[in-house]
Structure 1
Amino acid sequence: MTRSPATPLPPPKARRRLRETATLTQTQLADRVGVTPATVRAWESGRTTPRGRKREAYAKLLKTLAEEETVRAPEPEPEPESKLEPEAKPQPQPEPQPEEKAKPQPQPQPQPQPQPVAAPEPVALTPAQAFDALYAFSAPALVRQAFLLTGRREQARESVERAFQAAWEHWPEVARDRDPVGWVRATAYEYALSPWQRLRPRHRHPEPPPADPGDRTLLNTLLRLPPRHRRTLVLYDGVGLDLPETAAETEASTPATANRLLRAREAVAGRLPALADPQVLNRRLAELASNERLRAAEPPTVRRGGERRARLRTRAAIAFTVALIGTTALTVRTAPTHYEPPVSPGQAVRGVPQRVAPGALSDEELELRQKLRDQVQDGPERLSPRLE
């Protein structure tokens, strides 16, 4: 069975132009196609490409917008035909007087030609200005998302700041990325859900829960989910990413991501049946994150903090390298140049009588010694065998 070729789509810039020409917002276009506004934003930026039925619906809608644009375009008006007027009879001109003949006629002065105005050149942003713009655009939303993952306000703010500090350290890479916000979001989520956060002393002291009972129940339900299921639910139903994008950001396959999403929705609906509808769940997640007073630091403060942290790490690495080199040199200097066998430790020997010095001989011992000296030291007599 052969697959039919995909419907061609205009370039991303042309898609956005067609939508703006039709005076449609991304939310309105998303409702007509049946997707989320974040998906439309990803299609118009070229970060993702629609597939399947969504591609067919999107291509059909863009074709309709292009036809409407062609109809709305004003046709060039034809030049008005010159009406033929009856020739006027030449009127007799009075003859000029001699004074008028001698008077010179004034010459027309040349009119100054307007100079073409040069178009203003686009102003290139410095890396610091581009970073500040990215931070001001995405930091508040990322702090609210991190709060849904952790349930802690200070930890959410710190996670986003650390993520942007890492982005500033790798700014050439982040600036060329197709989705810089996604790069920072993935880093912030990894830091917020790190298991090492439980070992920090601040984690032992609980923060005050939300004031609204409904928000408190929803937040407790989210925190009871496994971290992977919680992250998938926030990305899909909170941020508005589609399933392939959620799978790519969570580094999982699409079937595994769909399974996590279904299990997370079942767990939330089991405790809060009113949130079984994904649209209602999306709205409640946005309300929960918006009701908390979550503030992000200023962009220059985050940049200076990242630079200060980078300097400290560099100095620590240099100090460790110098200490390692000094220890190696000292070891080489004081190490022996040949092998010296180890000396076994001494052990006490028990059970051997102590050695006693000889004393003076008695009279009997003196007599016996003299007797032995006087006798001839002869061996025993040789015995000769006899025949019997």
Structure 2
Amino acid sequence: MGQSSHTLKKPWIETPLIESAALSKVAGCRVFLKLELLQPSGSFKSRGIGNLIRTALLDPTNKDKDLHFYSSSGGNAGLAAIVATRDLGCPCTVVVPHSTTPLMISKLRAAGAAGATEVVQHGANWLEADTFLRQSYIDNESCDGRADSERNQKNIYVPPFDHPDIWTGAGTMVSEIAAQLPPRDDESAGAFPADAIICSVGGGGLFNGIVEGLNTYLHSRAGSQIPVKPVRVVAAETQGADSLAYSLRAGSLQSLQAITSQATSLGAVCVAPKVLESALSPPAGVEVVSFVGSDGDAARGVVRLADEMRLQVELACGISVEAAVAEKLKTSVPGLGPDGRVVVVVCGGSNVTAEMIAEYRLRLQGGWD
């Protein structure tokens, strides 16, 4: 396992950033799309999960150990773990709840390397699956019956969103966005070349990565002189999966009683503690805006992206697309005129088909809101 950072490749890619004329026309400002759905696993999860796995493989304390990665997931995080471990040549076990769709189960099994990937179903929800995983494989590593002296295997827990390495990985897209956006003629030193970044929030790994990535970027460019005009990070959620908005209203970390939204990829009843901290007290130069829409809004975003850009994403991603054209955005991000710039993280997701999008279209025509 003692590979150098130069020989161990990154299991994610630099994704394109494109401007959408159609969305810009509706929004009244320039809308750019960061196409994370093109990551190897089909979602932004490749960055964070991939970075956690790669970091563990490069850790000197793990030298000469056979690392086995264990991921608890409702789908996309597990798929990212399977794809990353497959590409980096190590085994992976993913535990998903019985609520995971057959479509996602088949994608998980198809993505893995033969003999090195195991997909286990346990529990009614992610929390039960995660508890089973940690108790069976992480807290009790000797569960296979072998004595410690016979074991050279180390089990590594891969959570779906709550880990610093995951946030660091997600944050890698910030410098990419800054380099890909066209420069502004009037850009002040160190300023970020967009007014806002919109991202979907489930457990908050993506959100926290973007906030940390912006903080790193602003300080690296401007030192102690943070630009006066802040970058807004718009945290988009759907009603019934709005655990961050719920905690923000309460002013403390709170858990939803249940997930009632159909955007199940946002299905964390409670965000990571660091996420709420970042939202309540963001770093200098960053402001956080909460946006909560309906499942119908999310579906409109999915259909809009399919019609205008020929891209397929989950409901959990569609809510960020719709947030970009919402009237609320204009009041939440002041000064968004024709030259204003909004970046939407098209986070992707693999639990979607053309047939599902056609169903969303029919339901919207029937009055789904």
Is TM (by shorter chain) over 0.5? no
Structure with greater helix percent: 1
TM range (shorter): under 0.3
Q: Which has the higher strand share?
A: 2
Structure 1-normalised TM-score? 0.20
Which protein, 1 or 2, shows the higher relative CO under an 8 Å CA cutoff with sep ≥ 6?
Answer: 2
- Normalised to the residue count of structure 2, the TM-score between the two structures is 0.20
Which has the higher Rg, Structure 1 or Structure 2?
1
